[in-house]
Amino acid sequence: MRIPKELQECGAETAIILGSGLGGFVESLPHDFSVEYGAIEGLPASGVPGHAGRFIVTKLAGCPLLVAQGRVHLYEGWSAQDVVKNIQLMHAIGIKKLLLTNAAGTLNKSFVPGSWMMLSDHINLLGASPLRGGPNFIDMSEIYSLRLRRLFHEAAKDSRLTLHEGVYAAMPGPQFETPAEIRMLQAIGADAVGMSTVPEAIQARALGMEVAGFSCLTNWAAGLSPTLLSHEDVNAVGRRAAGQMAELLIRAIVGI
Ligand code: HPA
């Protein structure tokens, strides 16, 4: 991969990846510069609506922050190794703390759509790992940093924002789940379901980064409400909820 010099020298140690419809977070921040994924040789670029593909470097309280607006997914046909090229790039330029965001369906009756859930753990049902191909027996017992989780809970309290915590199940998609699959996910202990984040978290931990994950709960999972699921609805709820989260992230990132 050929990494542009301005990214190599941006000086950021914290990065955030923005998922479906959550890109609005960066609109209000001043951009030092941005680079389209497509302009970086060896980095896959997405074709999914709601997933603009670019890196933006901004500053929060004088500290550089790398924002990845959009990601690629296994369901687009990319491999688990392809979808973590962004993480390898981040590691190469010195990123040490990674915040992953996604849109997800909620399976937990107490976590209503429009609210946010911080990931305490995940269940990988993708049938794939970015670490496949070598003896990469990496410990995953605290994949989502307890230190960061405490910090974000504090920030949420200060912002009076409800921040749930729970287990994210990653399904391969691209179709949404069936009601029977959702009942299975509830039975195995998942609180939310989505189609991303897990390969990136695994790769980031394997590279020694400190990771936090956030799900914007955009809808009741299949079978839990009479409404049918649509990507447009998911994006619309994500856009509305992104504003509150921006406040929390901006408050907390400065302290991490
Ligand atoms: N299932 C899977 N992925 C999702 C969902 C869902 O209900 N909502 C947003 N992303």
Q: What are phi and psi of 239, to 5 degrees?
A: -60, -40
Domain 5-252 coded CATH 3.40.50.300:
no
Annotated catalytic residue, options 108, 129, 196, 215: 196
Ligand 1 site, residue 194, Cβ cutoff 6 A: yes
The CB of 190 under 6 Å from ligand 1? The reply is no
Q: How many Cα atoms are found within 13 Å in the side-chain-facing hemisphere of 11?
A: 8
Query: Which residue's CA is the nearest one to ligand 1's atom 7?
Result: 105
Residue 55 Cα to ligand 1 midpoint, Å, equals 24
Told to judge if 76 belongs to the known catalytic residues of this protein, a careful annotator would answer yes
Paired with 55 in beta bridges are: 35, 68
Percentage of the chain modeled with pLDDT above 90: 68
Element (H, E) at 100: strand 97-106
Domain ranges (residues) in the chain? 5-252
- The CA-to-CA distance between both ends of the chain, in Å, stands at 29
The phi and psi torsions of 247 (rounded to 5 degrees) equal -60, -45
Q: Which pLDDT score is estimated for 242? A: 78
Which of 218, 232, 237 has the most ligand 1 atoms within 8 A of CB, as the residue to mutate? 218
Burial category of 212 from C-beta neighbours within 10 Å (exposed 0-12, middle 13-18, buried 19 and up): buried
Backbone angles phi, psi at 41, to 5 degrees: -60, 130
Which parts of the chain sit beneath pLDDT 70? 20, 47-52
The predicted pLDDT at position 229 comes to: 79
CA of 202 to the centre of ligand 1 (A): 20
Supply the pLDDT for residue 52.
Answer: 62
At 144, the amino acid letter reads Y
To test the pocket of ligand 1, the residue of 117, 234, 239 to mutate (highest count of ligand atoms within 8 Å of its CB) is 234
Ligand 1 binding pocket includes 177 (Cβ within 6 Å):
yes
Say how many residues make up the chain: 256
| 97 Cβ contact list (under 8 Å, min separation 6) | 13, 14, 15, 148, 209, 210, 211, 212, 256
Q: What is the pLDDT of residues 102-115, one digit of tens each?
A: 999 999 999 999 89
Ligand 1 geometric centre to CA of 126 (Å)? 14
**Binding site membership of 220 for ligand 1 (Cβ less than 6 Å):** no
Q: Does residue 126's CB lie within 6 angstroms of at least one atom of ligand 1?
A: no
**Three-class secondary structure of residue 26 per DSSP:** helix
Ligand 1 atom showing the smallest separation from residue 221 Cα: 7
Instruction: Judge whether 23 and 71 are in contact, CB under 8 Å.
Output: no
195 is catalytic: yes
105 CA from centroid of ligand 1 (Å):
4
Pick the residue whose CA is nearest to atom 3 on ligand 1.
194
How far, in Å, is the centroid of ligand 1 from the Cα of 115? 14
Q: What is the mean pLDDT of the chain?
A: 91
CA distances from 249 to 67, 163, 166, 168 (A): 12, 12, 18, 20
Query: What is d(CA 22, CA 76) in angstroms, rounded to the nearest whole number?
Result: 19
Q: How far apart are CA 15 and CA 113, in angstroms?
A: 26
Question: Would you call 209 a catalytic residue per the annotation?
Answer: no
Tell me the pTM.
Answer: 0.94
